[in-house]
């Protein structure tokens, strides 16, 4: 069910130089709609649900959530009933993401932003003994375990640094667990003021490996996308043919470029950027904003 064979590594000529190699692991290539890390984060939850004879999956997200669409798609494929608790009131026209999720059979339940904060209470409203609840963004130990498998898709032993974007920190936790002892793992936090990310990631790790989180590349906050970021994305597309999204990967690539220009990495570093996919956020932009 998890189509992993399209993943490839792309070298970024315009980032590297004689002494530094910069590559991107293109997890976004997995699938047109369900791209990136969400596949990895979901798989052990779904397996656990099936093992426990659960027939319904309940999860949470916003109107442009990559996690919502991935869950909807996976549940349709596994013949599981699927309920998506969506933050915010229902609008007359569904976002592209939600429409797509609905087409995959997800039952959408809209709750106010206030009510959304108390997830266990909402979940209990829809839950029964056949239901399995997956946290927003797939946060949790099984999510991290799945994310650890990202580093198994190809031989990553030659890299000195592995860098990924982080929202809940679940992918970061898994990558830190799976990284080799000589590799430094860096997370680019896309949320503003989410100070607990280090502890939250640590809590769901299997190992005590070290990692670094950089907090200054959020561009104003979650999903904020000033013109400077849009220009950066279009330039990146022109130069490297690399599509990125406004929420996660554009900020990740910007951060790596910034770190390179401030000589953050020692000479002879070999850097692997995890392109975690997720192009749903871009669908919120007016047509023509992006070149891709």
Residues contributing to the site for ligand PLP (CB under 6 A): 36-38, 66-67, 137, 165-172, 245, 248-249, 276-278
Residues 250, 236 contacting (CB under 8 angstroms) = yes
Contact 207, 178 (CB under 8 A): no
Smallest separation (angstroms) from ligand PLP to the CB of 38? 6
Residue with tokens 């970021």: 229
Of 82 and 146, CB closest to ligand PLP: 146
State the minimum distance, in angstroms, from the CB of residue 41 to ligand PLP: 6
Query: How far is C-alpha 15 from the geometric centre of its chain's CA atoms?
Result: 22
CB of 198 to ligand PLP, least distance (A): 12
Strands 21-26 and 56-61 turn out to be unpaired
Minimum Å distance from CB 174 to ligand PLP? Answer: 8
Which CB sits closer to ligand PLP, 23 or 28? 28
Give phi and psi for 205, each to the nearest 5: -85, 155
What strands, in cross-sheet order, belong to the sheet with 21-26? Answer: 9-11, 21-26, 270-275, 161-166, 184-189, 212-214
Instruction: Return the number of the residue (12 or 171) whose C-beta is nearest ligand PLP.
Output: 171
Nearer to ligand PLP, 81 or 214 (CB): 214
Among 49, 116, 104, CA closest to 74: 104
Of the pair 26, 67, the CB lying nearest ligand PLP is at 67
d(CA 248, CA 67): 13
Is residue 23 within 8 A of residue 10, CB to CB? The reply is: yes
Cβ-proximal residue to ligand PLP, closest one: 278
Taking the complex as a whole, the smallest distance from the CB of residue 248 to ligand PLP amounts, in Å, to 3
CA-nearest of 74, 196, 208 to 134 is 74
Residue with smaller CB distance to ligand PLP, 12 or 69: 69
Shortest distance (Å) from residue 30 CB to ligand PLP: 11
Rounded CA gap, 275 and 185, in Å?
14
**Nearest to ligand PLP of 38, 225 (CB atom):** 38
Full DSSP string of 15-68 = T-BTTBEEEEEEGGGG-SSS-THHHHHHHHHHHHHHHTT--EEEEEE-TT-HHH
Minimum distance from CB of 129 to ligand PLP (Å)?
Answer: 28
């Amino acid at each position: 069910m998890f189509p992993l064979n399209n993943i490839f590594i792309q070298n970024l000529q315009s980032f590297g130089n004689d002494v530094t190699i910069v590559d991107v692991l293109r997890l976004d290539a997995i699938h047109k709609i369900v791209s990136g890390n969400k596949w990895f984060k979901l798989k052990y939850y779904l397996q656990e649900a099936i093992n426990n004879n659960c027939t319904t999956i309940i999860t949470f997200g916003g109107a442009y959530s990559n996690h919502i669409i991935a869950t909807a798609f996976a549940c349709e494929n596994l013949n599981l009933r699927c309920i998506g608790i969506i933050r915010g009131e229902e609008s007359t026209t569904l976002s592209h993401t939600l429409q797509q999720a609905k087409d995959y059979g997800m039952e959408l339940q809209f709750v106010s932003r206030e009510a959304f904060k108390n997830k266990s209470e909402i979940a209990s409203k829809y839950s029964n003994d056949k239901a399995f609840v997956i946290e927003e963004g797939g946060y949790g130990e099984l999510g991290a375990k799945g994310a650890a498998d990202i580093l198994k898709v190809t031989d990553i032993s030659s890299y000195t640094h592995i860098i990924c974007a982080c929202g809940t920190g679940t992918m970061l936790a898994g990558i830190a667990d799976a990284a080799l002892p000589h590799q430094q793992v860096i997370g680019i936090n896309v949320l503003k003021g989410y100070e607990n990310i280090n502890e939250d990631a640590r809590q769901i790790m299997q190992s005590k490996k070290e990692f670094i989180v950089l907090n200054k590349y959020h561009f104003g906050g979650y999903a904020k996308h000033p013109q400077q970021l849009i220009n950066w994305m279009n330039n990146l597309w022109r130069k490297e043919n690399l599509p990125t999204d406004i929420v996660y990967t554009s900020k990740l690539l910007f951060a790596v470029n910034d770190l390179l220009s401030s000589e953050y990495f020692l000479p002879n570093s070999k850097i692997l950027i995890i392109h975690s996919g997720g192009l749903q956020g871009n669908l919120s932009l007016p047509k023509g904003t992006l070149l891709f």
